[in-house]
Structure 1
């Protein structure tokens, strides 16, 4: 999947590129961070917020960033409310 991180934070997706294949999104409220790692045929989201609603919002943001591609894997690093 091709991702253009430049400007993605300004267009409403909230993603900040850290490398050509990885980015992060800072979430309001608890100021937690979600990550996105993109490969050729897969995308890994690292943490999905602190609620189902926040997770759905992140998935939608990632979908837009991935040009219609979808998150194929999810890693949850710890129980959240942060």
Structure 2
């Protein structure tokens, strides 16, 4: 079953590129999907939120997240990083 970006709450801004607004702290996370790689930008405010982002990225790209970029050290952007290997 193929899941669309919109079904998971993501806004697709270009081919293989999307963003989503995270609840509570109104933080934006991003996803850039390549042929064999996936980059998540910002990990959310908790390990649970990070795990949800990781799972959604895997569902959308068909492979595991290979890269994580953190834009700045605020908790609502970095605490979810623990959910990424």
Moved over 6 A (4+): none
Q: Structure 2: which 5+ runs fail to align?
A: 77-85
Scaled by the length of structure 1, what TM-score is found? 0.79
2:74 to 62, 77, 80: 80
Aligned partners of 1:22 and 1:38 also within 8 Å: yes
Q: Structure 1: which 5+ runs fail to align?
A: none
Q: For residues 50 and 80 of structure 1, do their structure 2 counterparts lie closer, same or farther at Cα, with a shift above 3 Å needed?
A: farther
How much is the aligned-residue C-alpha RMSD, in angstroms? 1.9
Aligned length: 75
Aligned partners of 1:49 and 1:80 also within 8 Å: no
Aligned partners of 1:25 and 1:33 also within 8 Å: yes
Aligned partners of 2:37 and 2:67 also within 8 Å: yes
1:81, CA displacement in angstroms? 3.3
Q: Which residue of 1 aligns with 2:65?
A: 71
1:64, CA displacement in angstroms? 1.2
